[in-house]
Amino acid sequence: MIDLEKGEPAESHAAAVHAAKKKEKQSIKCVVWDLDNTVWDGILLEDREVTLRPHVVHILKTLDERGILHSIASRNDHGVAMAKLKEFGIDEYFLYPQINWNSKAASVTQIAKDINIGLDAVAFVDDQPFEREEVAFTHRQVLCLDSALLDDLLDRPEFNPRFITEDSRLRRRMYQADIERNREEADYTGPKEEFLATLDMIFTIAPCREEDLKRAEELTVRTNQLNTTGYTYSYEELDTLRQSPRHKLLISSLEDRHGSYGKIGLTLIEMDPDVWTVKLLLMSCRVMSKGVGMIMIHHVLRMAKEAGVKLRAEFVSNDRNRQMLITYRFAGFKEVERHGEVALMENDYSAIQPPPPYVDLRILG
């Protein structure tokens, strides 16, 4: 357990987190399904009729309620297959379906890219050993499952997040709203800032409340790319931090005219008399292109400057979070110390910027 009031050396914290991460169970964020003899019995382009597998429908709906997404990697005719899924009433469950004649490994790659998750968060379900072996050979991180052996899937730890939050239950709908936003942006011919202005974005920063803690823990576990340190905190640790006079724990949310993105950001600041240290700053990958990470950083800069203290930030590099290092540097942070894998960065307040005009920033609490 971390001594939250006394603190601990950054390098020992990072080492502990790294060791803990090695022991963590694989957490699946998306299941990629084959269709023929997997989602349904039969081969769509050969048989006169195919029959939907009832247990698959139950799995689809249950995992969807847990916040686990679904997609498709199938060698099939796209139009025919989508029409059949719609006829069965399950087409809405699948995001970024790859129904084509490419390799299944290539389809899995594209799905992970479109959803913006790591391959270690993907499970692939197929009835054919060759297809599973091809995906497993190309992507060793992907969990490959035989579609005939799914009886215990819902009980497996990889498919059981510790908490199911309101954000979890709405995750697929949030992604579907993102798809609509992306379509609009692709069709927009003006500058990106002009398009963002059409979204009517509201970015809210508030103290983390007890009712936010489940989502806060989920964010530390699920978010890898837009994450400055990768530190994970349990519900209990976050509750202690929330009440600690030495810490600020802030949670961020975003909404626009398409709907809510949910709680998408978490920031932890450790406050000493002469210096504040950002121990963790993360944003959901779904908001990567909206610039809210920079808005959050500049809000912290303004708070620290008004408090008359130095502002430092810890950064722990991994193979996914380079974007956050770039964001820190654009915000004026420079490395001043290094303790093992932990870089300690400092800001001289010379580059503080106001929120961009296309975002309505609301500060609560």
The proportion of the chain whose per-residue pLDDT surpasses 70, expressed as a percent, equals: 93
Indicate whether 141 pLDDT > 70.
yes
What band does 356 get if pLDDT is binned at 50, 70 and 90? very high
H helices present in 24-140, as ranges: 54-65, 78-88, 104-115, 129-138
d(CA 96, CA 251): 29
Q: Is the pLDDT of residue 38 over 50?
A: yes
CA distances in angstroms from 235 to 220, 223, 241, 264, listed in the order given: 10, 16, 10, 17
**Terminal C-alpha separation, the chain:** 29
The CATH number of 30-159 is 3.40.50.1000
For residues 331-355, give the mean pLDDT: 95
Range of weakest confidence among 67-76, 91-100, 155-164:
155-164
The yes-or-no verdict on residue 197 having pLDDT over 70 is yes
* The pLDDT value given to residue 24: 47
pLDDT of residue 2: 46
Domain residues of the chain, as ranges? 30-159, 165-363
pLDDT reported for residue 4: 46
How confident is the model over 86-109, as pLDDT tens digits? 999 999 999 999 999 999 999 999
- pLDDT tier at 111 (50, 70, 90 boundaries)? very high
Q: Sign of dihedral through CA atoms 62, 64, 67, 71?
A: positive
Q: What is the pLDDT of residue 285?
A: 83
Instruction: State residue 5's pLDDT score.
Output: 44
The pLDDT of residue 94: 98
CATH of 165-363, one of 3.40.630.30, 3.40.640.10, 1.10.10.10, 3.20.20.150: 3.40.630.30
Global confidence as pTM = 0.79
pLDDT, tens digit, 9 for 90 and up, residues 221-268 = 887 778 999 888 999 999 999 999 999 999 999 999 999 999 999 999
Look at residue 41 in the predicted model and tell me its pLDDT. 97
Predicted confidence at residue 323, as pLDDT, reads 87
Determine the pLDDT at residue 8.
46
pLDDT in tens, 13-35: 443 343 334 334 578 999 999 99
Domains 30-159 and 165-363 fall in the same CATH topology: no
pLDDT confidence of residue 318: 84
What is the pLDDT at residue 25?
Answer: 57
In degrees to the nearest 10, what's the CA dihedral of 267, 305, 275, 364?
-30
Q: Torsions phi, psi of 113, nearest 5?
A: -65, -45
- String of DSSP letters for 126-153: ES-HHHHHHHHHH-TTSEEEETT--TTG
Count of beta carbons in the 10 Å neighbourhood of residue 238? 23
Over the chain, what is the mean pLDDT? Answer: 91
Per-residue pLDDT tens over the stretch 275-322? 999 999 999 888 878 889 999 999 999 999 999 999 999 999 987 888
